[in-house]
């Protein structure tokens, strides 16, 4: 395959353009367009070309998977794997980006690209969870609150125990490594799960409300556990006072925003329409999304929790505004970046190591069983299909598992081999869950899946 690092003056034959080198050839054609940069792409131009490739890959993959009746999120994740640094190398790590291919080894450009990728991915999942919040009113969470809490707790305890026992007592790994694997098996990727439910048009179903409510609680519990693990990795001990402080922050933040925020928005909703700025309600909603997301991150929670709560607050006044319609362009632009860049984290060469793949498959199986059994048992009495839907819906680890793995590696708590195991588990659970959810929901009647009072055209999240 043609290399992106060869001379720009090299001739690009026509024939590869018709086969596997088509994209590389196209990019070299773009690189030969006249510029006022001394024959090289500037950092900004190269970065824009990177973003063009990412967005194009996301939309093409989403279209293909829509046509084969599969969730577009899988296509976007696979697109990220294909164009990422470990495959075609069109995006990914800073030293393998198009900026470096055409501009050379410039540290400032490397850092700028890395920060831009990270920012786009974070903004994408923040916007996604804000939209999910717009679809979720407080009364819906309260309706399934007790059940969602039980699902979350069971979905944390059993996977953590299975991961710890496998890596520690059974395989003989150090305690800190075993605990990090257990933590990686705990948290559900609420962003990926929400996207799949949205793609299936079942986000207002009873099971989906339980999954999303449980996923928010799950994330809070996971952040508490992860904060504890970080302290253990750094100092070897964490005080109960510190754990209690983190837990108290999470609970107070969620309750305060949910109760006080909804009251404020409900009271002053109509007044927003009298502000003179264009699209005032939309602007205020975006401010709330960014403000609460940053506040959540500042106090040690996930930013997506704040974004979800912001959307949920404005859902109480949904009949007064058209926020979904106004924010649709932002949604369609940013959200695909999150999934493509998540997929780009995968190194396909890890699948060639027999030892790693054996442990990874075992960990993946236990991760799936832990959520399926733990969360499913919390749904006893609502039918086997609902038990399975909630268990599978809580299974994707996605970017959450990758965050845990990266943190463990950076702290020196886990070696590269365990990092690879966690990454493979995170990706496999993300790929496996969506098609199973599609099959499970296909077996439910419309009345069961989409309650008439909950699912309306005004409240449905936009299609990509």
Residue 243: per-residue pLDDT: 65
pLDDT in tens, 374-411: 988 888 878 888 889 999 999 988 767 777 777 787 77
Same-domain check for residues 340 and 250: yes
Show the tokens assigned to 110: 């490397």
Residue 368: per-residue pLDDT: 93
Residue 24 lies in a domain: no
Same-domain check for residues 72 and 158: no
Q: What percent of the chain has pLDDT over 90?
A: 12
Same-domain check for residues 302 and 424: yes
Residue that the structure tokens 């920060």 belong to: 115
Rounded mean pLDDT of 23-43? 46
- Model confidence at 207: pLDDT above 70: yes
Residue 411: per-residue pLDDT: 75
Reported as a pLDDT band with limits 50, 70 and 90, residue 319 is: low
Same-domain check for residues 386 and 250: yes
Q: Report the alpha-carbon angle 198-152-453, nearest 5.
A: 40
Residue 464 lies in a domain: no
Distance CA 218, CA 224 (A): 10
Distance CA 420, CA 399 (A): 14
- Pick from 120, 152, 169: which residue ends a domain? 120
Residue 370: per-residue pLDDT: 93
Residue 364: per-residue pLDDT: 93
Report in angstroms the alpha-carbon separations of 101 from 54, 114, 338.
16, 15, 23
Rounded mean pLDDT of 7-23? 34
Report in angstroms the alpha-carbon separations of 310 from 36, 284, 293.
45, 10, 8
Distance CA 215, CA 202 (A): 16
Residue 2 lies in a domain: no
C-alpha Rg value of the chain to the nearest Å: 23
Same-domain check for residues 88 and 127: no
Kindly report the CATH number assigned to the domain that includes residue 369.
Answer: 1.20.1530.20
Rounded mean pLDDT of 227-244? 66
Reported as a pLDDT band with limits 50, 70 and 90, residue 41 is: low
Rounded mean pLDDT of 152-161? 91
Residue 209 lies in a domain: yes
Residue that the structure tokens 């990422």 belong to: 84
Residue 22: per-residue pLDDT: 39
Same-domain check for residues 110 and 132: no
Residue 463 lies in a domain: no
Same-domain check for residues 233 and 270: yes
Same-domain check for residues 138 and 224: yes
Same-domain check for residues 206 and 83: no
Average pLDDT, the chain: 75
Same-domain check for residues 95 and 130: no
- Pick from 120, 138, 160: which residue ends a domain? 120
Residue 446: per-residue pLDDT: 47
Show the tokens assigned to 6: 């060869």
When divided into structural domains, the chain yields a total of: 2
- Model confidence at 236: pLDDT above 70: no
Residue 456 lies in a domain: no
Among 26-30, 100-104, 195-199, the range of highest mean pLDDT: 195-199
- Pick from 93, 120, 147: which residue ends a domain? 120
pLDDT in tens, 213-233: 888 788 777 767 776 777 666
Comparing 79 with 230, the larger pLDDT belongs to 79
Same-domain check for residues 273 and 350: yes
Rounded mean pLDDT of 306-327? 79
Domain range for residue 155?
123-449
Tell me, letter by letter, the H, E, C secondary structure of 141-168: HHHHHHHHHHHHHHHHHHHHHHHHHHHH
């Amino acid at each position: 395959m043609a290399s992106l690092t060869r001379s720009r003056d090299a001739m690009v034959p026509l024939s590869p353009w018709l086969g596997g080198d088509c994209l590389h050839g196209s990019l070299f054609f773009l690189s030969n367009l006249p510029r006022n940069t001394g024959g090289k792409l500037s950092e900004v131009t190269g970065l824009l070309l990177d973003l063009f490739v990412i967005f194009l890959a996301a939309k093409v993959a989403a279209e293909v998977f829509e046509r084969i009746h599969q969730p577009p999120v899988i296509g976007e994740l696979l697109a990220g794997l294909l164009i990422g640094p470990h495959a075609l190398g069109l995006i990914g790590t800073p030293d393998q980006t198009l900026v470096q291919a055409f501009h050379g080894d410039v540290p400032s450009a490397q850092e700028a690209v890395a920060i831009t990728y990270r920012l786009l991915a974070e903004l994408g999942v923040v916007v996604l969870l804000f939209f999910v919040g717009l679809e979720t009113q407080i009364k819906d969470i309260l309706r399934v609150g007790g059940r969602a809490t039980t699902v979350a707790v069971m979905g944390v305890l059993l996977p953590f125990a299975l991961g710890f026992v496998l890596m520690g007592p059974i395989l003989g790994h150090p305690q800190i490594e075993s605990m990090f694997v257990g933590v990686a098996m705990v948290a559900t990727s609420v962003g990926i799960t929400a996207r799949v439910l949205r793609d299936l048009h079942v986000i207002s179903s009873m099971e989906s409300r339980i999954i999303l409510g449980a996923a928010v609680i799950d994330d809070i519990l996971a952040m508490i556990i992860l904060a504890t693990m970080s302290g253990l990795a750094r100092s070897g001990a964490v005080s109960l006072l510190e754990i209690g402080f983190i837990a108290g922050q999470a609970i107070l933040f969620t309750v305060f925003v949910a109760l006080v925020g909804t009251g404020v928005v409900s009271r002053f909703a109509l007044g927003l329409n009298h502000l003179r700025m264009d699209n005032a309600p939309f602007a205020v909603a975006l401010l709330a999304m960014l403000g609460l997301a940053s506040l959540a991150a500042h106090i040690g929670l996930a930013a997506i929790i704040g974004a979800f709560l912001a959307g949920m607050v404005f859902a109480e006044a949904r009949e007064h505004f058209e926020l979904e319609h106004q924010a649709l362009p932002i949604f369609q632009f940013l959200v695909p970046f999150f999934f493509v860049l998540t997929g780009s984290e995968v190194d396909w060469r890890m699948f060639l190591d027999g030892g790693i793949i054996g442990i990874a498959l075992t960990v993946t199986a236990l991760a799936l069983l832990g959520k399926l059994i733990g969360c499913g048992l919390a749904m006893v009495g609502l039918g086997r299909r609902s038990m399975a839907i909630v268990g599978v819906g809580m299974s994707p680890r996605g970017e959450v598992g990758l965050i845990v793995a990266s943190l463990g590696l950076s702290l020196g708590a886990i070696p590269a081999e365990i990092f690879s195991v966690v990454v493979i588990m995170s990706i496999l659970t993300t790929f496996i869950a969506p098609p199973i959810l599609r099959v499970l929901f296909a077996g439910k009647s419309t009345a069961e899946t989409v309650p008439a009072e909950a699912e309306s055209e005004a409240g449905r999240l936009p299609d990509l």
